[in-house]
C-alpha cells in the first residue's frame, strides 16, 4: 500500500446529499450496531492460542489495540474439537474458551469497538495429529487437498479425509448453532460464518471437493445446502442482524476448484438475502492474491444481496474510496495492513505511512510481532 495518499477526511456534516459525500471515516449503521467508520479488520489467524485452545493473554491487548476499526472480525475460531485444522487456533466450544474470549470482547468494548467472531470448521484442511483420537479429517467427499497445514511446528501435508455420513451433517449444523450462542455469551456483537477459503462449508459449495450424490452434492442447490442450513441455524439462534457470512467465490485457497462459480454464488447471494442476514463479506479474487484471478461479476452478488456488502482483498484506501463512491460496497475489510498498524484507521485518515508486517512472526509465538507494533503516537514519542 502506498503511503501519504491524500484522502477525504471525515465529513463535517452528518447530512448526506449525494453519493460523493461518502467517506470511509463516517459512521455506518450495521443492523442495530453503530460502527464508527466503514473500515473493518479482516479475520487473521495468528496461531497463538494457549493450552485448551483458549485465546492467549496477549489476544485481549492485540484486539483492544485495533478497536478503532469500525468492526473487528476475529481470527477463524473452531466450533468444536473436530473442526480444528491448524496448531494453536482458538475454539469457542468450552467454558474456559468462552471466558478467554470474554477478556477480548471486554477490551474491545472498553474502547468503544465492535467485534464479531469468525466461526470455522476446517473440514479436509487438517491433520490426524490435531484431531480427537487421531482420526481422519471429515469432508464432503474423500478427496485429499493438495496443500499443507501448520502442525507440529511446521508445514505438513494435510491428511486423507473421510466423507461425512448423511446422518452426521445435522451435528455440524448444531455445532455452529451452539458456537454462535457461546459467542453471545462471550460478549461478541455477532458472528461471521466462515464460508470461504477452502474450508468445510466451501468444500461443500465447490464441486472440486464435493462429489456427493445425496441432498448435499450435485446441483447448485444441493451444494449450497449446508452453508444455508448453518446460516439459518445461527440466525435463528442469535438473530439475523447479528449474523454475517464470508464467501470467496473464485479463490483457490485450500487447493479447491469450482466449475460454475457465477451461477453457484448468485444463487447463494439470493438465498442469503432471503435469510435477512446483516452482511455478506466477499473475498474478491484469489485470497491475498490477484483481484482478477478469474472472471467473476462481484457486482452481481452486491446487487442480489440487499443489506450490507463488505468487500475484501487487496484494497488500497484509494480503491476502497472509489468503490464506496461508486456504490459498489458499503464496508471494506483490510487484512494484512491491520497486522503492523494497530491504528490503521487513524493512519489512513491522515494519509500517514503504513508500517510493514514481519512475515516471520505471523503464525505462532507470543507478544513479538503481535502486540508490539507501535501506533504513530507511540513512534513519535520515542
Ligand atoms: C496471516 C493471515 C491470516 C489469515 N487468517 C484468516 C482467517 O482466519 N479467516 C479468513 O477468512 N481469512 C484469513 N485470512 C485472509 C484475510 O482475511 C484477507 O482475506 C486477505 O489477507 C486479503 O485481504 P488484504 O489484501 O486486505 O490483506 C488471513 C490472511 C493472513 C495474511
Task: Give the domain CATH number at 47.
Answer: 3.20.20.70
Please state, rounded to an integer, the average pLDDT across all residues of the chain: 94
Q: Tell me how far the alpha carbon of residue 102 lies from the centroid of ligand 1, in angstroms.
A: 23
Which atom in ligand 1 lies closest to the alpha carbon of residue 196? Answer: 11
- As a whole number of Å, the CA-based R_g of the chain is 20
Residues of the chain with pLDDT > 70, as a percent, come to: 94
Instruction: Say if residue 48's pLDDT is above 50.
Output: yes
Domain that holds residue 300: 3-380
Phi, psi of 153 (to 5 degrees): 60, 30
Mutate to test the pocket of ligand 1, among 40, 43, 191 (most ligand atoms within 8 A of CB): 43
State residue 267's pLDDT score. 98
Report d(CA 364, CA 6) in Å as an integer: 36
Q: Is 118 in the pocket of ligand 1 (CB under 6 A)?
A: yes
Instruction: Say if residue 1's pLDDT is above 90.
Output: no
Mutate to test the pocket of ligand 1, among 76, 191, 288 (most ligand atoms within 8 A of CB): 288
Domain count, the chain: 1
Q: Is 81 in the pocket of ligand 1 (CB under 6 A)?
A: no
Q: Is 45 in the pocket of ligand 1 (CB under 6 A)?
A: yes
Per-residue pLDDT tens digits for 4-28: 333 333 333 333 334 456 799 999 9
Q: Tell me how far the alpha carbon of residue 44 lies from the centroid of ligand 1, in angstroms.
A: 5
Q: Is 159 in the pocket of ligand 1 (CB under 6 A)?
A: no
Residues with catalytic roles:
199
Which atom in ligand 1 lies closest to the alpha carbon of residue 76? Answer: 8
Q: Is 120 in the pocket of ligand 1 (CB under 6 A)?
A: no
Which atom in ligand 1 lies closest to the alpha carbon of residue 314? Answer: 25
Q: Is 48 in the pocket of ligand 1 (CB under 6 A)?
A: no
Q: Is 246 in the pocket of ligand 1 (CB under 6 A)?
A: yes
Instruction: Say if residue 347's pLDDT is above 50.
Output: yes
State residue 21's pLDDT score. 66
Mean pLDDT of 220-230: 99
Residues 6+ apart with CB under 8 A from 379: none
Per-residue pLDDT tens digits for 287-326: 999 999 899 999 999 999 999 999 999 999 999 999 999 9
- DSSP of 141-182: SS---S-EEEETTEEEEPPPPEEPPGGGHHHHHHHHHHHHHH
Per-residue pLDDT tens digits for 120-140: 999 999 999 999 999 999 999
144: closest CA among 130, 156, 126, 121?
Answer: 126
Report d(CA 317, CA 14) in Å as an integer: 22
Instruction: Say if residue 94's pLDDT is above 50.
Output: yes
Amino acid at each position: 500500500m502506498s503511503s501519504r495518499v491524500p484522502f477525504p477526511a471525515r465529513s463535517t456534516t452528518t447530512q448526506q446529499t449525494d453519493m460523493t459525500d461518502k467517506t470511509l471515516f463516517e459512521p455506518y449503521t450495521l443492523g442495530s450496531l453503530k460502527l464508527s467508520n466503514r473500515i473493518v479488520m479482516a479475520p487473521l489467524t495468528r496461531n497463538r492460542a494457549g493450552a485448551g485452545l483458549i485465546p492467549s493473554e496477549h489476544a485481549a491487548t492485540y484486539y483492544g489495540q485495533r478497536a478503532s476499526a469500525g468492526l473487528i472480525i476475529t481470527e477463524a475460531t473452531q466450533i468444536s474439537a473436530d473442526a480444528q485444522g491448524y496448531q494453536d487456533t482458538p475454539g469457542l466450544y468450552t467454558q474456559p474458551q468462552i471466558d478467554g474470549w470474554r477478556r477480548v470482547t471486554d477490551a474491545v468494548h472498553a474502547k468503544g469497538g465492535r467485534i464479531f467472531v469468525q466461526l470455522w470448521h476446517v473440514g479436509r484442511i487438517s491433520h490426524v495429529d490435531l484431531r480427537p483420537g487421531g482420526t481422519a479429517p471429515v469432508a464432503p467427499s474423500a478427496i485429499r487437498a493438495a496443500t499443507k497445514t501448520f502442525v507440529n511446528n511446521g508445514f505438513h501435508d494435510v491428511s486423507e479425509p473421510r466423507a461425512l455420513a448423511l446422518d452426521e451433517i445435522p451435528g455440524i449444523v448444531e455445532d455452529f448453532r451452539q458456537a454462535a450462542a457461546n459467542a453471545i455469551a462471550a460478549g461478541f456483537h455477532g458472528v461471521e460464518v466462515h464460508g470461504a477459503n477452502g474450508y468445510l462449508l466451501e468444500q461443500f459449495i465447490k464441486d472440486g471437493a464435493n462429489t456427493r450424490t445425496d441432498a448435499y452434492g450435485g446441483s447448485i442447490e444441493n451444494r449450497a445446502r449446508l452453508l444455508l442450513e448453518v446460516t439459518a441455524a445461527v440466525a435463528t439462534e442469535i438473530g439475523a442482524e447479528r449474523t454475517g457470512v464470508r464467501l470467496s467465490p473464485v479463490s483457490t485457497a485450500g487447493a479447491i476448484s469450482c466449475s460454475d462459480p457465477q451461477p453457484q454464488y448468485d444463487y447463494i447471494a439470493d438465498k442469503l438475502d432471503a435469510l435477512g442476514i446483516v452482511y455478506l463479506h466477499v473475498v474478491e479474487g484469489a485470497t491475498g492474491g490477484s483481484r482478477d484471478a478469474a472472471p467473476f461479476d462481484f457486482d452481481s452478488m452486491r446487487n442480489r444481496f440487499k443489506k450490507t456488502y463488505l468487500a475484501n482483498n487487496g484494497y488500497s484506501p484509494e480503491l476502497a474510496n472509489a468503490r464506496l463512491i461508486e456504490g459498489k460496497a458499503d464496508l471494506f475489510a483490510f487484512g494484512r495492513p491491520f497486522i503492523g498498524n494497530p491504528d490503521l484507521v487513524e493512519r489512513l485518515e491522515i494519509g500517514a505511512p503504513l508500517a510493514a508486517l514481519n512475515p516471520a512472526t505471523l503464525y505462532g509465538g507470543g507478544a513479538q510481532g503481535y502486540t508490539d507494533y507501535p501506533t504513530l503516537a507511540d513512534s513519535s514519542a520515542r
